[in-house]
Structure 1
Amino acid sequence: MTKPPTASAVIGEIAVLGPFFAVDTHPAGTEPPDPWQPMSRALLEARVTGVRERLAVAGGQPGDAVEIRVAASVAHLGLAARLVSPALAAAVLHGLVLAPGLADLRWQPVTGGPVPLSLPDDTLAGDPATTPTRLADELSGRLLDGPLRELAAAMEEFSLSRHILWGNTASAVNGAATMITAARPDLTARTRTLTSLLLARPPLRDTSTTTPEGTFRRRSCCLIYRAAPGGKGALCGDCVLRR
């Protein structure tokens, strides 16, 4: 019988896929030292403020020219991608479901780039799912309806609709899948099968569609185009507004 991979082996394999996949771990039930922090309103506000400032600088504008809700949506997309990416990779590689509660995760308040993420070490325990369908069910129930729903609820306080928030999450799922297949073409079929199953389940059902050319297209907009002067920025590749 093949031995299950060790936690360090799983983390190592995931990290090779890119910075959005890299995670640290801390002993379950303990508090890691500074600068690790639990998710909080203050941390979210700092992240949104930092994103707002960077968007304003990129557009040559004063900070208050960028709407808070625009910065909050961009910040949410980045945080959702940090939760989705390692979870999708662990699922594709080993059938594992990384889905601790949002309160159990620890973050570092850095500006720019993927925010550092630490998981409780017991998150990597458990039996792998045996089929793609079961794995998609587990991810939907434990990841999407777990920390990602908690994150969406927290970001609603920045005047973001659930339509945008779940669209961001769907975009994060597709983005993670794209990065996995770019780094590991041999995982393309497995990754795309699982991603399709996951996007077809609630709460992501009806958040996206596929164009006749086979391109992922979300049914909402992350609003980043509004950060440019006059609200005339470029649209993302998967935006609903793209024609």
Structure 2
Amino acid sequence: MGDQPQLNNNNKFIPDHVAVIMDGNGRWAEKMGEERKAGHQEGMEAIKRVSIRASERGVKVLTLYAFSTENWKRPPQEVKFLMQLPVNFFDRFVPELQENNIKVNMIGFKDKVPGPTKRSIEKAIDQTKNNTGMILNFAFNYGGRAEIVEATKSIVEKVISGELNKKAISEEVLQSELLTRSIQPYDEVDLLIRSSGEQRLSNFLLWQNAYSEFYFSKLFWPDFTGDVLDEALDDYQNRSRRYGAI
């Protein structure tokens, strides 16, 4: 049947914001008898498949956990390869993103990202800035705790300068200082997907996942297809979100 949209999928109650922890590239490669970088390479193909299907299904924002602030602890050669992946991805796939009216965005701390990687991401953002469809939001050099710390520092500075009264500090004020302010009003996650069978947040969108629904798949990320995304969306549609109420 291939990786084609299923005609019986129900596009009602599609989550506005889907976030994905793309886990298992290395283990996929080991299973295939390949080097870890082969898994990361195949993971790029999965990004393309899932992004296009998410756009077709009506998702407003797809946030992908591409590189965390903790990933710098990996072997230098692997980090170097991971820094090259955005360059390779956007060189190949921006035309398809354009065809599907997908807009690229990035959240994360750019200061430590190598120049070529940063420029590649910024170029893709500029090339797709006029697109009006789904936002493909890459969390690159991103960490949830660091995000909250930096937001807190910004609020403190505003209180000290007199720009903000401390009594006015609220959840909304803090939320407006988070990196995901760039994707408002869809900054809160509706559905979190994690591949590879692991079941933890790994410092990903800690604030934004407060009331999200979780979907865990045992498949490694390179094995993800549009049909697998459909399964997650269909599962989401059968849930009842109560936000603490009955």
User: Normalized against structure 1, the TM-score is what?
Assistant: 0.30
More helix by share: 1
Higher RCO, 1 vs 2 (CA within 8 Å, ≥6 residues apart) = 2
Q: TM-score, normalised by structure 2?
A: 0.30
**Higher strand content, 1 or 2:** 2
